[in-house]
Structure 1
Amino acid sequence: MRVRNKPWADDFINEHSEYIISNPEDYLGKWSTRFNNDNPIHIEIGSGKGQFIVGMAKKNPNINYIGIEIQKNVIAMTLQKVVAEELENVQLINTDGKSVDNFFSLGEIQKIYLNFSDPWPKTRHIKRRLTSPEFLKTYYNILNDKSEIEFKTDNRGLFEYSLMSLNNFGMTFDHVNLNLHDSEELVDNVETEYEAKFKSKGPIYKILALVNK
């Protein structure tokens, strides 16, 4: 997902440092101090324009959410939503998802959301998929044995690859949904921007994987 340059993004981000974290490594093992509470912490890797994480934060005020997004112009749009809602349980990090174990410690995160990640369909790009073994190792390092990875996609190839990758990594499946928007789960589903736009084009697949340690 690429968006046009937002000339206002830098200034807006600088004006709201209470939500944007420029030094995530400094909070390794002590994210509770950033939120000023000991509530569970969930992270979304590739948070896009923020519709999902803002929706989840409003729905679950007793859970802390951290959105990780590599594109500055995109995370600035998430920041707009967070500021407008005055959400105290959301923080944002402008980086990629490769090194999450550099700024979260073992067991510090209770759930990871991977929503409509880039499928990287070419074989030579497999290592870039957010459910590849390389990424799963970093997730494993920050989750505990009661943690979950929730994955949604509309890409059949990425869905099948992710099932195999998660299973081979030793995770178990709480459930696998082949058509989220035609199931009872839809009642509690919080959509992303992408999901809202493309749900009519075909099935949305969902996996809820449990960490085994």
Structure 2
Amino acid sequence: MRLRNKPGAENKLIEFGQYVVSNPEEWKSKWHERFGKKQPLHVEIGMGKGRFLIEMAKQNPEINYIGIELQTSVIVSALEKQIEEDLPNVQLLQVNAQNLQSYFDKGEVDRIYLTFSDPWPKNRHEKRRLTYKDFLFSYETVLDEQGELHFKTDNQKLFEYSLISFSEKGMILKELYLDLHNSDVEDNIMTEYEEKFSKKGNRIYKTVAYFPNKK
């Protein structure tokens, strides 16, 4: 589906440089200086319009959050939410997640969120899936020793693929939900897509995993 361009989006990203980091490579290993406070660092890759990220940051002021999104027409929606809230613990990056190690040092990130990532269903696009082995290598590198990967989707095939990918990488599943909204989880914050798909009756899948050699 083609994304609609939002008039003035690129200029807005530049105008609000206090929220959108134009030079993330320069903050590698010192993100606490960018935030002005040393706190655990959580990163959402493919944050979309930013609902999940902003709500998490509002509920957890003791954690610093970075949202990564490549599409200009999408990240500007997250920026608009941040402009309204003006949360000191939120920063946004318009970058490609394939270059994650360029922006974060080894062990600098405490948690990574993958929420309703593009499933890229065609086999020839496998390398674009955010749970492909190359991405997992990057996550393992930037996560600290206690770091976790939180993955949530409504796409059963992507979820099954991801579980296999995690297993092949030797990851350990800490939590597993095959029907999240009918589980005993009480503090679930929904993304825009999650709300949309769940209203259609789609089952929501979630897992929390970690790399055992990091523990």
Q: Is 1:198 equivalent to 2:197 in the alignment?
A: yes
Question: What is residue 54 of structure 2 aligned with on the other side?
Answer: 54
Change (3 A) 1:195 1:202: same
Structure 2 distance, partners of 1:2, 1:79, is 20
Question: What is residue 34 of structure 2 aligned with on the other side?
Answer: 34
Structure 2 distance, partners of 1:61, 1:83, is 16
Q: State the Cα distance separating 1:73 from its structure 2 match.
A: 1.4
Measured against aligned partners, the alpha-carbon deviations of 1:134-169 in whole angstroms (never above 9, x if no partner) come to: 110111110122000000000110000111111111
Question: What is residue 171 of structure 1 aligned with on the other side?
Answer: 171
Q: Is 1:69 equivalent to 2:74 in the alignment?
A: no
The 3-state SS of whatever aligns with 1:189 is coil
Report 1:138-157 matches (<5 A): 138-157=138-157
Measured against aligned partners, the alpha-carbon deviations of 1:13-64 in whole angstroms (never above 9, x if no partner) come to: 1221000011110011111110011100000000000000001000100100
Question: What is residue 100 of structure 1 aligned with on the other side?
Answer: 100
Identity rate, percent: 49
- So what's the TM-score if we normalise by structure 2? 0.96
Q: State the Cα distance separating 1:113 from its structure 2 match.
A: 0.3
Q: Which amino acid aligns with 1:191?
A: M
Structure 2 distance, partners of 1:2, 1:13, is 21
Moved more, 196-205 or 65-74: 196-205
Contact 1:110 1:147 in 2 (8 A): yes
Structure 2 distance, partners of 1:79, 1:49, is 8
Q: Is 1:8 equivalent to 2:8 in the alignment?
A: yes
Q: State the Cα distance separating 1:197 from its structure 2 match.
A: 0.7
Q: State the Cα distance separating 1:8 from its structure 2 match.
A: 2.0
Question: What is residue 78 of structure 1 aligned with on the other side?
Answer: 78
Structure 1 distance, partners of 2:97, 2:152, is 16
Q: State the Cα distance separating 1:68 from its structure 2 match.
A: 0.3
Structure 1 distance, partners of 2:139, 2:99, is 9
Contact 1:150 1:208 in 2 (8 A): yes
Contact 1:144 1:211 in 2 (8 A): no
Q: Which amino acid aligns with 1:167?
A: S
Aligned residues: 212
Moved more, 79-88 or 194-203: 194-203
Q: State the Cα distance separating 1:2 from its structure 2 match.
A: 4.3
Change (3 A) 1:211 1:2: farther
> Unpaired runs of 5+ in structure 1?
none
Question: Where do 4+ consecutive residues of structure 1 move more than 6 Å?
Answer: none
Q: State the Cα distance separating 1:132 from its structure 2 match.
A: 0.6
- So what's the TM-score if we normalise by structure 1? 0.97
The 3-state SS of whatever aligns with 1:190 is coil
Structure 2 distance, partners of 1:121, 1:74, is 21
For the aligned residue pairs, the C-alpha RMSD in angstroms reads 1.0
Measured against aligned partners, the alpha-carbon deviations of 1:98-121 in whole angstroms (never above 9, x if no partner) come to: 111111001100000001111111
Q: Which amino acid aligns with 1:9?
A: A
> Unpaired runs of 5+ in structure 2?
none
